[in-house]
Amino acid sequence: MEHGALSSPHLKEACYLVGKAFGVRNLGHFLHEITHLESKSGQRKSKFGGVCSISHYQFGLMQQHHRFYHHRKVILNSLGIDLKSINFAHLSNNPTLSLIIVAAWLLANIERVPKRRLDRAKLFSKWWRAMPCSEYMEKTYDLQ
């Protein structure tokens, strides 16, 4: 396993835990799909930092977004982690912190996480990494 993930099932549980902590429906599904696409659910080294493959540049942009810290209190209360205390170096070996950062970024840009995987594929391409919806659907098919 890579990036501090203990196992694929453990990483999947972490995705759903973070989604529940944010209190947003379908966020856990979306995070699980992202980790699968970026690091094969923690089984391979991602291109950048952590199981979600966050680049240093992207991390800086995230921190500057006016809504990035919108869920800060919720995360502090539910997980005991202050979003402002997470730095880029933490992401490469702590999957939960990587998931929290990605969730905060997504929710800074979208109102809700759709239930349909096809709609999540469109959001992935817009807010994470450009990828044809057909490729997203094919690569995440087994996660249903």
* Digit-coded pLDDT (tens) for 47-82: 787 899 999 999 999 999 999 999 999 999 999 999
Task: For residues 125 and 144, give the distance between their C-alpha atoms in angstroms, rounded to a whole number.
Answer: 19
Residue 47: the pLDDT is 75
User: Given its phi and psi angles, is residue 26 left (phi above 0), alpha (psi -120 to 50 degrees) or beta?
Assistant: left
pTM: 0.92
Q: What is the per-residue pLDDT across 74-131, written as a single tens digit (0 to 9) for each?
A: 999 999 999 999 999 999 889 999 999 999 999 999 989 999 999 999 999 999 889 9
* pLDDT category of residue 2 using cuts at 50, 70 and 90: low
Can you give the pLDDT at residue 143? 85
d(CA 124, CA 30): 9
